[in-house]
C-alpha cells in the first residue's frame, strides 16, 4: 500500500482500477474492435505498414548520404522486418482472431518474439531485438497518429492517472465512465480540477509522480476530500473507504433536499444563485438543479474539434436551445475566450505557440483582431436573445476602449439584424469579466458602459499574484485567500455596488465553500458555481448570517497574511458547513 | 530437396545486416528455404527467423532448399557465406 498526498481538487471518494495515461510515451491499450470493423482495422494496419516503408526510404537516403552504403544495409534489415510474416501475417491474423486493435495485436506479436530473444544466451544477439523494437515503434507511432489517443475509448470504469490532462485529452470524456482523476501536475483550479468538478467526480492533483508509481490495472483509492491517492490499499483501508463512500452518498442525497429552497442567509439576504455551463448538453442537468439562471455559459466548446469556425446559424441554434429552456431566467453568455492556437486549427492565420498564452492574444483581444469571428458570435447571441433572457459577457477586458468597441459592434450587429428583419430582445445587458487587475483597479471608469460585471477569480488570482497555476513550481502560491486578493475583490464589489451595478462571481472561488463567507460578506449579488458544488454552496450560504460575514470581511481587510484570513474563516461561528477534515 | 551445412564465418554471426542479406537473397527464389541450427528450424525468408537463430561466429547451420530452383538457391546462399556477407 502506498499513500501519496496531493491537492484535493474535486471532492468525493472513488475506488477503482487505475488507467495510466503516460505522457508523450507510447501506451498500448487493448481495445476490442467490433466484428464488422475488423477489416477496417486490418486496413489501418496495412496503411501504417506503407507509411513505415516510406519512413525507411527517407531514412535510407539520409544514412547513405551521411554514413555510407554499409550502414544503409541496416535499413534493409528493418525493411525486411516490416515484410516479415511475423508482421505482415501474424498481426492481421491476431487482429481478426482476437478482435483487438492493431496497436495491441502488434505489441503482442512483438512481445512474443522478444520473449524468444530474451532467452538467448549470447548477449550480442539478444540485443538485436532492438532492431525489431525500432521498427515496431515506427509502426506503432504511425498507427497512433491515425487514431489519435482518445480517452473516449476507455470503456471500463477506471481512475484516470496522468502527468497532466490537457483540454485536448479530455474532449469527449464527459460521456465515459471515468471514476476520477489523479495527476502529477496542476492545482486546485487547473483544467483537470474544473473538469472533474463539472463531471462530478473526485480529483487529486499536484501529486508530483503518481503517474510513474501506479500501473494500469492496479487498485487505487482516490480521496478527493483529503487529497490522497492510495495505491493497492489493504483490506482495512478499503473497508474504511467503502464506508466513507456510502456515507457521502447519503449526505449527497440529503443535500438535494435543498432543491427549490431560496438561496438566502439566516438573516434573509437573498442571492441569485446560478450555475456554470460548459457545453449545451449539460443544461438539462442544470435545469434539474433549479438554478436561478446560468451565470456563465462558456462558448469555447463550439470552436473545438473542427477545421472551420462555427457558422452564425450553428451558434444561434446552440444558444437558443439553452436560452429557451431557461427563460425567463437569465443566461449569461460569455463570448469565446480563445487563443491563437485554436484559430490556427480553424484554418485562420493567428499567432501560434505563444510563449505566455495567459498574457497573450486571447479573449476579447483576439476577437478585436478577428472582428468577423466576433461579429458572427455576437449576431448569433443576439438572435438567441429573442428566445429569453440573454446577457453578454466579455472576457479578458483590460481597457475602457475595448468596451467601447464591443458596444459599437453590438449596436452595429443589432442594426444589421433588424434591417434583415430578424427579431432580437429589446435590450441586451452587457457585462465584462473582471479578471485583469487593470480593469479591477479602474473599475469605476468601466462601469458607465456596463450593465453588470462578473468576477473571474481564477485568472484574477493568477494575474494579481503573478502565479501560473499550471506551473507546479509556483502553484502553491496560488491562493484565493491572499489579502491582496481579498482587498481587490472587495474594492470591485463595493465600486460596483456604489454605482448600482449587478456583481456576480463566476470563478472557482464561488464554488469553494471555504471562500463563501467572504463573498457573502462582501455583498455580491450573485454566485455562479460549478454544478457539482451547487447544493454544497447553497447549504453554506443558508447557514451564514450576512451581517456577521460583512463584519468578518471588515476584519479580513486588515489582515496581512492569508493564514490570518483562513483562521478567521475557520473560527467563524458554526465552522465550515460540511464534513471538514 | 538439396542440403548443405555451412560454418558461419562473419565476425558477429548472422546478425541483422547479414540476416537481411540472406533473406533478400533467399527471397529471390521460388524454393522454400529452411535454416537449421542445433535442431531449431526457421524460415529462411523471415529475417526475424534468421535473427532468432542467433547463429554466432563459428556456428554450424544447415541450409535446405526445396522447389523448382533449389539448386541455384542453395548455391547463391552458399556464395553469400563464402563472401562473408561482404563484411569489411
Label residue A150 exposed, middle or buried (CB < 10 Å: 0-12, 13-18, 19+).
middle
The pLDDT score that the predictor gives to residue A174 is 58
Helix axis angle for A102-118 and A129-147, nearest 10°, is: 170
Q: Are the Cβ atoms of A73 and B51 closer than 8 angstroms?
A: no
Provide the sign of the torsion angle of the four alpha carbons A52, A54, A60, A61, taken in this order: negative
- CATH superfamily, region A35-148: PtsI, HPr-binding domain (1.10.274.10)
Q: Are the Cβ atoms of A113 and B43 closer than 8 angstroms?
A: no
Reply yes or no on whether the pLDDT at A357 is more than 60. yes
Cα B8 to Cα A116, B18, B78, B80, B82, distances in angstroms: 21, 10, 11, 10, 9
pLDDT tens profile A217-256: 899 999 998 899 999 999 999 999 999 888 888 887 888 8
Instruction: Write out the E strands in A250-328.
Output: 272-277, 294-298
Which of B15, B19, B51 would you mutate first to test chain A, the one with the most A CBs within 10 A?
B51
> Going by C-beta distance under 8 Å and a sequence separation of 6 or more, which residues neighbour residue A466?
none
Averaged pLDDT score across all residues of chain A:
87
Catalytic residue among A191, A274, A370, A482: A191
Question: How far is A349 from A288, CA to CA, in rounded Å?
Answer: 42
Q: B31, B68 in Cβ contact below 8 A?
A: yes
Q: Which three cell numbers stand for residue A250?
A: 447519503
Find, in chain A, the residue whose alpha carbon is nearest to that of B12. A124
Q: A186, A209 in Cβ contact below 8 A?
A: no
Is A235 touching B (CB cutoff 8 A)? no
Query: Taking an 8 Å Cβ-Cβ cutoff, which residues of chain B contact chain A?
Result: 12-13, 15-17, 19-21, 23-24, 43, 46-49, 51-52, 54, 56
What is the set of domains in chain B, with CATH numbers? 2-83 (3.30.1340.10)
**What is the residue extent of each domain of chain A?**
2-27+152-254, 35-148, 259-571
Reply yes or no on whether the pLDDT at A340 is more than 80. yes
Find, in chain A, the residue whose alpha carbon is nearest to that of B52. A117
Question: How far is A491 from A457, CA to CA, in rounded Å?
Answer: 14
Is A115 touching B (CB cutoff 8 A)? no
Label residue A106 exposed, middle or buried (CB < 10 Å: 0-12, 13-18, 19+).
buried
Label residue B59 exposed, middle or buried (CB < 10 Å: 0-12, 13-18, 19+).
middle
Reply yes or no on whether the pLDDT at A263 is more than 90. yes
User: Could you tell me which residue, A470 or A443, shows the higher pLDDT?
Assistant: A443
> Annotated catalytic, B15?
yes
Closest-CA residue to A78 (of A55, A96, A98): A55
Mean pLDDT of A324-336: 95
Question: What CATH number has the domain spanning A2-27+152-254?
Answer: 3.50.30.10
Q: Are the Cβ atoms of B15 and A125 closer than 8 angstroms?
A: yes
Q: Please name the CATH architecture into which domain A259-571 falls.
A: Alpha-Beta Barrel (3.20)
Q: Are the Cβ atoms of A131 and B23 closer than 8 angstroms?
A: no
Q: Is A32 helix (H, G, I), strand (E, B) or coil?
A: strand
Mean pLDDT of A18-36: 76
Q: Which residues pair with A393 in a beta bridge?
A: A334, A431
Closest-CA residue to A49 (of A129, A116, A146, A149): A146
pLDDT band, residue A579 (cuts 50/70/90):
very low
Q: A443, A491 in Cβ contact below 8 A?
A: yes
Q: Are the Cβ atoms of A77 and B47 closer than 8 angstroms?
A: yes
pLDDT band, residue A96 (cuts 50/70/90):
very high
pLDDT band, residue A580 (cuts 50/70/90):
very low
pLDDT band, residue A23 (cuts 50/70/90):
low
Would the ipTM clear 0.90, i.e. be above it?
Answer: no
Question: How far is A304 from A306, CA to CA, in rounded Å?
Answer: 6
In the DSSP assignment, the letter for residue A31 is -
pLDDT tens profile A277-301: 987 778 888 888 999 999 999 999 8
pLDDT tens profile A153-186: 666 688 999 887 765 566 556 556 789 999 988 7
Q: Which three cell numbers stand for residue B46?
A: 523471415
pLDDT tens profile A507-560: 889 988 889 999 999 999 999 998 878 998 999 999 999 999 999 999 999 999
User: Could you tell me which residue, A444 or B14, shows the higher pLDDT?
Assistant: A444
Reply yes or no on whether the pLDDT at A354 is more than 80. yes
Q: Which three cell numbers stand for residue A314?
A: 450553428
Instruction: Look up the pTM and report it.
Output: 0.60
Q: Are the Cβ atoms of A125 and B16 closer than 8 angstroms?
A: no
The pLDDT score that the predictor gives to residue A457 is 95
The pLDDT score that the predictor gives to residue A169 is 60
The pLDDT score that the predictor gives to residue A542 is 94
Instruction: Residue B56: list chain A partners with CB under 8 A.
Output: 122, 124-125
Q: With a cut of 70, which residues of chain B have pLDDT below it?
A: 88
For A86, the closest of B15, B24, B46 (CB atoms) is B46
Amino acid at each position: 500500500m502506498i499513500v501519496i498526498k496531493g491537492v484535493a481538487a474535486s471532492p468525493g471518494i472513488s475506488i477503482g482500477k487505475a488507467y495510466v495515461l503516460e505522457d508523450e510515451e507510447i501506451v498500448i491499450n487493448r481495445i476490442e474492435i467490433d466484428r464488422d470493423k475488423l477489416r477496417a482495422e486490418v486496413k489501418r494496419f496495412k496503411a501504417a505498414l506503407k507509411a513505415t516503408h516510406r519512413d525507411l526510404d527517407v531514412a535510407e537516403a539520409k544514412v547513405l548520404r551521411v554514413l555510407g552504403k554499409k550502414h544503409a544495409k541496416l535499413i534493409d534489415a528493418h525493411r525486411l522486418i516490416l515484410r516479415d510474416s511475423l508482421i505482415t501475417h501474424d498481426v492481421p491474423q491476431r487482429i481478426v482472431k482476437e478482435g483487438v486493435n492493431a496497436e495491441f495485436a502488434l505489441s503482442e506479436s512483438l512481445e512474443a518474439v522478444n520473449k524468444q530473444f530474451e532467452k538467448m544466451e549470447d548477449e550480442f544477439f539478444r540485443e538485436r531485438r532492438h532492431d525489431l523494437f525500432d521498427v515496431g515503434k515506427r509502426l506503432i507511432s504511425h498507427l497512433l497518429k491515425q487514431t489519435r489517443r482518445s480517452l473516449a475509448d476507455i470503456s471500463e470504469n477506471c481512475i484516470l492517472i496522468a502527468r497532466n490532462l490537457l483540454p485536448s485529452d479530455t474532449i469527449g470524456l464527459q460521456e465515459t465512465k471515468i471514476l476520477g482523476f489523479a495527476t502529477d501536475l496542476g492545482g486546485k483550479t487547473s483544467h483537470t480540477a474544473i473538469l472533474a468538478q463539472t463531471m462530478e467526480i473526485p480529483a487529486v492533483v499536484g501529486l508530483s509522480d503518481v503517474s510513474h508509481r501506479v500501473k494500469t490495472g492496479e487498485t487505487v483509492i482516490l480521496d478527493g476530500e483529503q487529497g490522497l491517492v492510495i495505491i493497492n490499499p489493504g483490506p482495512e483501508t478499503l473497508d474504511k473507504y467503502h464506508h466513507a463512500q456510502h456515507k457521502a452518498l447519503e449526505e449527497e442525497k440529503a443535500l438535494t433536499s435543498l432543491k427549490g429552497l431560496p438561496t438566502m442567509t439566516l438573516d434573509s439576504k437573498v442571492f441569485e444563485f446560478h450555475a456554470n455551463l460548459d457545453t449545451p448538453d449539460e443544461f438539462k442537468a442544470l435545469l434539474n438543479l433549479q438554478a436561478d439562471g446560468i451565470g456563465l455559459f462558456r462558448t469555447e466548446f463550439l470552436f473545438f474539434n473542427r477545421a472551420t469556425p462555427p457558422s452564425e446559424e450553428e451558434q444561434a441554434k446552440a444558444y437558443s436551445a439553452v436560452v429557451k429552456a431557461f427563460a425567463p431566467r437569465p443566461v449569461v453568455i460569455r463570448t469565446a475566450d480563445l487563443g491563437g492556437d485554436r484559430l490556427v486549427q480553424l484554418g485562420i492565420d493567428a499567432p501560434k505557440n505563444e510563449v505566455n498564452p495567459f498574457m497573450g492574444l486571447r479573449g476579447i483581444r483576439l476577437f478585436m483582431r478577428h472582428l468577423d469571428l466576433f461579429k458572427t458570435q455576437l449576431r448569433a447571441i443576439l438572435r438567441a436573445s429573442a428566445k429569453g433572457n440573454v446577457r453578454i459577457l466579455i472576457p479578458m477586458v483590460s481597457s475602457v476602449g475595448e468596451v467601447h468597441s464591443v458596444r459599437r459592434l453590438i449596436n452595429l450587429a443589432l442594426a444589421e439584424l433588424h434591417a434583415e428583419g430578424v427579431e432580437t430582445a429589446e435590450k441586451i445587458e452587457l457585462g465584462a469579466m473582471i479578471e485583469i487587475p487593470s480593469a479591477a483597479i479602474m473599475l469605476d471608469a468601466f462601469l458607465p458602459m456596463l450593465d453588470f460585471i462578473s468576477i473571474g477569480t481564477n485568472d484574477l488570482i493568477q494575474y494579481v499574484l503573478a502565479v501560473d497555476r499550471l506551473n507546479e513550481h509556483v502553484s502553491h502560491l496560488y491562493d484565493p485567500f491572499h489579502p491582496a486578493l481579498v482587498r481587490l475583490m472587495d474594492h470591485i464589489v463595493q465600486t460596483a455596488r456604489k454605482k448600482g451595478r449587478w456583481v456576480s462571481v463566476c470563478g472557482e472561488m464561488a464554488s469553494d465553500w471555504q471562500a463563501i463567507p467572504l463573498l457573502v460578506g462582501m455583498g455580491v449579488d450573485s454566485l455562479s458555481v460549478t454544478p457539482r458544488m451547487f447544493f454544497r454552496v447553497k447549504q453554506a450560504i443558508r447557514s451564514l448570517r450576512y451581517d456577521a460575514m460583512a463584519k468578518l470581511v471588515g476584519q479580513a481587510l486588515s489582515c496581512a497574511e492569508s493564514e490570518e484570513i483562513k483562521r478567521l474563516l475557520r473560527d467563524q461561528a458554526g465552522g465550515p458547513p460540511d464534513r471538514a477534515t | 530437396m538439396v542440403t548443405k551445412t555451412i560454418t558461419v564465418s562473419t565476425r558477429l554471426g548472422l546478425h541483422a545486416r547479414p540476416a537481411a542479406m540472406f533473406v533478400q537473397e533467399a527471397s529471390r527464389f521460388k524454393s522454400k528455404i529452411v535454416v537449421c541450427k542445433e535442431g531449431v528450424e526457421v524460415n529462411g525468408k523471415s529475417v526475424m527467423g534468421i535473427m532468432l537463430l542467433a547463429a554466432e561466429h563459428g556456428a554450424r547451420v544447415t541450409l535446405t532448399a526445396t522447389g523448382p530452383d533449389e539448386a541455384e538457391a542453395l548455391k547463391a546462399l552458399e556464395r553469400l557465406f563464402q563472401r562473408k556477407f561482404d563484411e569489411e
